[in-house]
Amino acid sequence: MSKLSRNRLLPVVAALVLLGCSAVGQAEPQAIPEDFFTPAITGVTAGGTPIKFIKDGFEGTEGPIAAADGSGSLLFTETKANRITRIAPDNTVSTFLEHSNGANGLAFSDNGDLIAVQTVKTQVGIIYPPGKEKTLSQDFEGTAYQRPNDLVRTKHGGIYFTDSGTRPSKELPTPPASTPGVYYISPEGAVKRIVNDLKRPNGIQLSSDERVLYVANTDGEYILAYDIVADGSVGTKRNYAKLAGWSKGESGEFSSGADGLAVDANNRLYVASNAGVEVFSDKGDALGVIQLPKKPQNLAFAGQDKKTLYIVGRGAAYKIALLTSGVNGRWK
């Protein structure tokens, strides 16, 4: 089927899927019509594995992460609704936390504190459990963050996060000068800006051995990689993986749409992009693309064995049974 024909079918696909699904609570997820079964990707997916639809109509879909309670559940952020939502292994949907201060990307500390980049009052800090809320950083050298987007926590307690900066919108056609960047908060709480030359840094992730930092530059053609040095800083950027999602949008500008990132136990990299979920080897070689009815925004490994890949985007949530698992001991 041609790309054009597939695009014309997307609204029909979405409607057919929704007819079979209840709005909230426990429901058997519906299989996407045949155009949305997985391709065969060696070591990752068996050809023809169904992409399971869970629910549509969420108010913003970002920041997925495995729950820290051992239940196999997934948490993700409904940014527009200012809440964090849980999807249980049986596909029950429930509210995990209200009034999240616009939480976007999430990470757990070793003791179960939930850390988030937050977009209402722009900051990074602990938002759960109740009574333990704490701001870790709300500005850099006196300048407030503009649009904190995603974060990843190291096993030693350091936090890397992105600030995508401001963009034109209907409400803000001429935004203030943007200062996007990538930042590092040390385990002791010191903050440094480690990258300042990207137009729109978005998703962020660590390699499985935590020696390399991956950054999705939404307006760029490549996932970028940086070697990490002892103090948490990074070396020179390099083009790591060329994105199939690189294309011209309605505005006439090119973008890959690169957003959320995840890594599996074999250090394969998964990228939510304009093309779908792009999968790359531990060397950055393209392995395949998993297409979805709606453009994905972010993704994470969860489930009891961490062999389920959850994908959220444009108000919808899906899951796919994989042949591989996420990194042991990592919440995403």
The model carries a pTM of: 0.89
Q: What are phi and psi of 298, to 5 degrees?
A: -155, 170
Q: What is the pLDDT of residue 35?
A: 66
For residue 250, name the pLDDT band (cuts at 50, 70, 90): confident
- Is 185 within a domain? yes
Question: What integer pLDDT is reported at residue 170 of this predicted model?
Answer: 56
What CATH number does the domain containing 117 carry? 2.120.10.30
Q: Is residue 211, in this structure, part of any structural domain at all?
A: yes
Q: What is the pLDDT of residue 178?
A: 58
201-217 confidence digits (pLDDT tens): 999 999 999 999 999 99
> CB under 8 Å to 163, separation ≥6 — which residues?
145, 146, 147, 148, 149, 179, 180, 181, 182, 183, 201
- Whether 331 maps to a domain, the answer reads no
Residue 290 pLDDT: 97
Read off the pLDDT of residues 42-65 as tens digits, 9 standing for 90 and up: 999 999 999 999 999 999 999 999
Q: What pLDDT, in 10s, does the model give residues 31-44? A: 776 568 999 999 99
pLDDT of residue 11: 38
Domain around 195: 3-321
**Tokens representing 222?**
């490549």
**Cα–Cα distance for residue pair 130/306, rounded to 1 Å:** 27
Q: Among 64-73, 251-260, 295-304, name the one with the lowest average pLDDT.
A: 251-260
253-271 pLDDT, tens digit each:
889 999 999 999 999 999 9
DSSP one-letter code for 35: G
What value does the CA radius of gyration of the chain take, rounded to a whole number of Å?
19
Q: Is 120 contained in some domain?
A: yes
Residue 226 lies in a domain: yes
Domain count, the chain: 1
142 in a structural domain: yes
Residue 196 located in a structural domain: yes
Q: Classify strands 269-273 and 261-263 as parallel, antiparallel or unpaired.
A: antiparallel
Position 7 in a domain: yes
Q: How far is CA 103 from CA 27, 191, 250, in A?
A: 27, 20, 28
